[in-house]
Structure 1
Amino acid sequence: MNVLLTGGAEHTAPGLMAMRQALIISGFNVLTVVPETESEHVACSISPNVAISIVQVGGDDKNPIYQVDGTPVDCVRIAMLSGLARDVSVVVSGIYGQLCLGEQSLYSGTSAAAREATSLGYPSLAVFQQVIEGASVGFDWCSTVAAEIAAWLGASSPPMCCAISINVPAILQSRSLKLTQPALRVWDPAELGQSTVDEVTGRVTFIRSALQAPQFEMQTNTDATAVATGHASVTQLECDVVNSTEHPVRERLEEVIKNVNVRIGATPQACQSGCCG
């Protein structure tokens, strides 16, 4: 089975290298196409009407690594539309070393790459893992779980053309995956602070006030709640509405998670009573 690996980090990023290794161990042929520099916070931006270079920077004939002087979405489009990625069954974006919850996925280059793949007709997975500053980082469990989910997405028949994200907390309280909804955040309208007006130009300038960052609403079955209680969260980002509808895709994702939980040794008893709210 062939997979396109991409994301918002450069090819030497530890999370991406761990994901590549896990996919290869799982039996995938892995084509890696990533930006030449960190590009996580570029959302779904592309580089229209400009020449974009792509060069092989590592790997081998079976599992090559390419670098693109563009965005994560550019990477997906170049790989897919140029014919570089042939007979791909699934696209994996990440692992990026921070969480991406709720509407944060709208600003994430890693998520945007997965969404772009789905818009081109491929099932995709965006993978994120929380990293604690100063602590040693291990992506082994996260990459293994993501490879399992990628295998199920790639082998599904009929194809389950959807983009999903997985968020793994730094400290796991349970190895049971949770199918979740994106959480909402509460934004304070006063965040921009006081405004000043230039008497000559009339230009209004807002000075950002040092307020607390917006907080997620910790509702049941959201990605933020799952991560806060020590679970890996699996969230549907997008689906191909032409070939499927939301509810059947969610039902199939529930079945995928059920099977993956069994394969990684998670059981209902592994989840502490009441830990999910």
Structure 2
Amino acid sequence: MNILVTNDDGIRSRGLRELVRALSEVGTVSVVAPDQERSGTGHAVTMHRPLRAVEISGIPGAVQAFQLDGTPADCVKLGVEVLLEHRPQLVVSGVNAGPNLGTDVLYSGTVSAAVEGLIMGIPAIAVSISDHSEEWLGLDKAAQLAAGAARAIMKNGLPEDTLLNINLPRLPAEEMKGIKITRVGIRRYRDFVEKREDPWGRPYYWLTGEAVDMDEGPDSDTRAVKDGWISITPVRFQLTHEEFMKELASWNLD
């Protein structure tokens, strides 16, 4: 199996390197990842400037590796279309430092890279841990789970419009309760904007936010991870609200 590994934390991320190591026991791994941190870029693609890819070495387990001055979605596009010698049969994005739960999937460069794989007809996995610290709590377990999921996909396949979004709680592996198959919850943010001034008196802004888990249903990804479970969610990019189509057709929209 030819596997493309990418992320949004950048080519130097410890999470990416651990993921490559684990997946190299499953198949032939190639890497195309951003040259720097690209978290929160969603599904952005670069269309108004050229992209530059540099082949690098020093990632154990990878047969090819490139750093790209673009977004995670760019990495998958160029990897599949131009950079890699063989078309990947699986895209794996991660391991992300920080969870991608609920509505995070719409902001996440990690998940969007996996979605780009689906758009290109390639099965995909996104994997994240809940630890933002230097400790990377749960990283080994996350990489092992990604490898296990890759083997399962190789055996069973996935629906063509579906990826697996894997999230681990911020716990040592031995304290995690197990795996729950979950749905995407609702996770909104209380935004904070901090206004500052540069030395010339011109304003600039820092945008931050605090997560607010709105959907605490027992089968939601947000609740599962909060309660110490590993969440695996089958995510589709089909966004149509089909149940509402008939009613919408009855509206006078002229």
- Coarse TM-score class (shorter-chain normalised): 0.7 to 0.9
Give distance in 2, aligned partners of 1:163 and 1:61: 24
Q: Percent of aligned pairs with the same residue?
A: 26
For 1:34-49, list aligned pairs within 5 A.
Answer: 34-49=33-48
For 1:79-158, list aligned pairs within 5 A.
Answer: 79-82=79-82, 84=84, 86-131=86-131, 133=133, 135=135, 137-157=137-157
Q: Is the 8 A contact 1:4 1:85 kept in 2?
A: no
CA drift of 1:214 comes to 2.5
Q: Is the 8 A contact 1:8 1:109 kept in 2?
A: yes
Give distance in 2, aligned partners of 1:136 and 1:6: 18
CA drift of 1:153 comes to 1.7
Determine the structure 1 residue equivalent to 2:246.
Answer: none
Determine the structure 1 residue equivalent to 2:215.
Answer: 217
- Cα offsets for 1:38-83 (capped at 9, x unmatched): 0011100011143211111114896111100100000000011226
Q: Is the 8 A contact 2:11 2:33 kept in 1?
A: yes
Give TM-score scaled by structure 1 length.
Answer: 0.72
Determine the structure 2 residue equivalent to 1:253.
Answer: none
- Cα offsets for 1:8-54 (capped at 9, x unmatched): 02122111110000011x23110100000100111000111432111
- CA distance 1:38–1:226, shift in 2 (3 Å): same
Structure 2: stretches of 5+ with no match in the other structure:
194-204, 240-254
Give distance in 2, aligned partners of 1:18 and 1:214: 30
- CA distance 1:87–1:133, shift in 2 (3 Å): closer
Determine the structure 2 residue equivalent to 1:176.
Answer: 178
Tell me the amino acid that sits aligned with residue 231 of structure 1: W
Structure 1: stretches of 5+ with no match in the other structure:
194-206, 242-277
Confirm whether residue 232 of structure 1 aligns to residue 234 of structure 2: no
Give distance in 2, aligned partners of 1:50 and 1:211: 30
Tell me the amino acid that sits aligned with residue 4 of structure 2: L
Q: What RMSD in Å do the two structures reach over aligned CA positions?
A: 2.9
SS at match of 1:37: coil
Determine the structure 1 residue equivalent to 2:202.
Answer: none
Give distance in 1, aligned partners of 2:151 and 2:73: 22
- Cα offsets for 1:214-262 (capped at 9, x unmatched): 3332111000111011111011222689xxxxxxxxxxxxxxxxxxxxx
SS at match of 1:218: coil
Determine the structure 2 residue equivalent to 1:33.
Answer: 32
Tell me the amino acid that sits aligned with residue 46 of structure 1: V
Which structure: greater strand fraction?
Answer: 2
Give TM-score scaled by structure 2 length.
Answer: 0.78
Give distance in 1, aligned partners of 2:55 and 2:220: 39
Tell me the amino acid that sits aligned with residue 228 of structure 2: G
Give distance in 1, aligned partners of 2:127 and 2:105: 11
